[in-house]
Structure 1
């Protein structure tokens, strides 16, 4: 091979010389080495019920069109999502992306250039920071209160001079629900600063708080959603968002062409039609969240509105507890990689019943 690789490396932007998204893979290797071929997988907030038969059948049929480009507008999916959300009484503008990540990247692409300020409510999903930095923007993190609720005046104040702010509710990894009234207060404050709010609702299916009505009155609101969780399509990478009328053409111009493939689109439409599948899983999550709270003997669990819970394992360190649980065949997520959170928290997904029972037994033995 020719060329000076060190000189070529110098051409890569400095921001990518380290860091990157932290995946929960180490624990799986530890469980395997401990002899568990089928461990309890409670690290990635996946739907343990699998994928709806309606989605699978639709995806199989779509494989026959693998030689054709997908509909660039994903029109069948957009229409299905609009109908699904018709219960809120509003006509919502729906856009799609390759997972929530793809939606976030598209939104950032339309607003952020070199040096532009973005505010993020933290601790939270690290991809906001990664995507903003990749676009040349500058992130200002605003810490939540000690109980992980949002200090509304502080958050709004930090948004002076920012183009867009990110807030996740229910929040990942804390599970905290920000009341709709607080979000409305934030939107009012951000309007005065000419700032957009991206409200990440990836886990909103698992709580009783509805933010969709806010789209009617606030043109600075974008609500991100995903089909990875309640719909069981994590492997299909289907994200979507509700956007204001004025913003719709800008999003479409910035979007990667043919982003969603035929199989993902078909599977998503099929999944939307199987409402009983979603309802069964959501009820399962709510029941087991209560069971986790009742079943934990030694550690504090924080209130959660998601398909996971966050637990403080102090005085132990989260990384150590992850290893101990993995050796017992239970894979959970250490939250030590989440900026500003600290090193004593773990995130535990609500899995199948046997997985949840296995976790409770293991955590209470540590």
Structure 2
């Protein structure tokens, strides 16, 4: 998406701003999360109109109730939450030449807004190449660095006081409930785009008052409610149970494409649906019975909405079980399907499957 207004300026350029003298006011901020929503009003319920990103420098027009109103071209109202912006002190400087032109762009071919006199004070907002964007009595515009009392070029100033964006700590969200909906927007009324599971961990893209945004397994950006995650600056440690579930799924996937053989017990030479479930679980020291009709009673019965990777799901007709599969997460299953297709992966609600009957948890 195209940046607007002050948009994207590097920390190197910001460094020149920080090394001039005499603090004037606080009206520039640096985004400290990977992606930050820009909203039409000072509220998480206001619509998202744009985004700014890690390291972007934004011009702050005013601050109220933890929200910054920022400058964006063609946007009369643009707001970001102050929690995700590091405010930097802007600087004052004096015109050092006899006269200095104030331009409407960072080059001498741009239009001249006005002329500044020697000794006139200006507020430096940010730097662009050999130019400073400044606020003056004649308005805002660009002035060449050589005409100000800060005599060094913005490009040659050593960055010593600005933060390095690489040093900004990553934050992580770990799911604390069995199943958690991922929403398209930060609202409980927003569309559900995915599900995540207890102990799943995600790097946080942006953080709002009640929500965090993450990347889902398919690469989409979604939102998790903070009530159902724990947030940490440390890389989360995966628990033994959640790790085991993923190991079971990964192990089962090794045999995708192998043969279906009715009554078979070999994951490589041929196996049927219940044999597949039994042999996969056996690898991890989990003992279950041999038929799908008995396997549903081998663990704890759970509802469909509580499914976790590694759970067993059962299908059949008229309430009679005739098939079992291993749930993989994200509404997908792996199973020994039939002699024609062998061991396959498909959706839990695939219309080609028999009627869903129930689920059992054998991983404690």
Q: Which bracket does the TM-score occupy, shorter chain normalised?
A: under 0.3
TM-score normalized with structure 1 length: 0.19
Q: TM-score, normalised by structure 2?
A: 0.19
Name which structure has the greater RCO, CA cutoff 8 Å, separation 6+.
1
- Per residue, is there more helix in 1 or in 2? 1
- Larger Cα-atom Rg: 2
